[in-house]
A = this chain, B = another copy of it.
Amino acid sequence: MPYTYKYPRPSVTVDVIIFGLKGKDLKVLLIQRSNDPFKDLWALPGGFVDPDEELEEAAHRELEEETGAKGIFVEQLYTFGKPGRDPRGHVISVAYFALINLADIKIKPASDAKDAQWLKLTELPKLAFDHKEILDKAIERLRGKVRYQPLGFELLPEKFAFSQLQQLYETVLGVEINKRNFRTKINKMKILKEEGQQTEVAHRPAVLYSFDKDKYEELMKSGFNFEI
């Protein structure tokens, strides 16, 4: 059943950059293509936008297909539409990036993807289409935003130690941070809730914290500025 229009239309797809933190490594979920074009190369999860589907909904749909996870943080990244970016025709792709907590959530292997894997950002293979460019933009956006908005907590488990939070920023920003000054800065913001202590560790147990979203939003109303 064909669809006919008076003027030509491009196809519209959604691609999702899914970031996860594993120890000291930032990883991204990629899928090895089983068909041409770009057969065997790695690509971002994505697909066509359904008729009358919201774009963000499409992003959530792709995310859930690949990871089984719901309620994940996603944010629109950028829309790519350069002619020739897809050899099959004029394809416009709205890219979203997602931040997922690999510790708490079980990632199911996707049903329809032959080979989906978490790959380190520092050890990336060749990517299909313009997906390298898209991924680079996502990394740039993550680096830029993580300092001014409390995005980082999305990558951490519900309860985390100060050192984990610091490690996260060091990984994402690619810099070393002074422990003392980092704690002082975060503490002054008063956006963390104490959540008990670590147990069974071979050193002084760390106090665990969670991000206090209500308090953060309260502070935002009165001109507070998150900044690392």
Contacts and interface: CB of A to CB of B under 8 A. Distances in A.
Interface of A: 2-12, 48-49, 51-55, 76, 78-79, 81-84, 90, 92, 94
A201 to B, nearest CB: 36
Given A49-B81, A53-B83, A54-B81, A8 B3 contact: yes
Given A76-B78, A79-B55, A81-B94, A6 B2 contact: yes
5 contacts: A3-B7, A10-B51, A12-B92, A54-B81, A76-B79
B49 A10 contact: yes
Contacts of A11: 9
A67 to B, nearest CB: 23
A226 to B, nearest CB: 13
A4 B7 contact: no
A78 B78 CA distance: 7
B4 A9 contact: no
A7 B8 CA distance: 13
A174 to B, nearest CB: 12
A78 B55 CA distance: 11
Contacts of A55: 79, 81-82, 92
Contacts of A4: 2-5
A35 to B, nearest CB: 16
A5 B10 CA distance: 10
A79 B94 contact: yes
Contacts of A51: 8, 10, 90
A144 to B, nearest CB: 8
A5 B83 CA distance: 18
Contacts of A90: 51-52
A54 B10 CA distance: 11
A54 B76 contact: no
Contacts of A82: 54-55
A162 B8 CA distance: 50
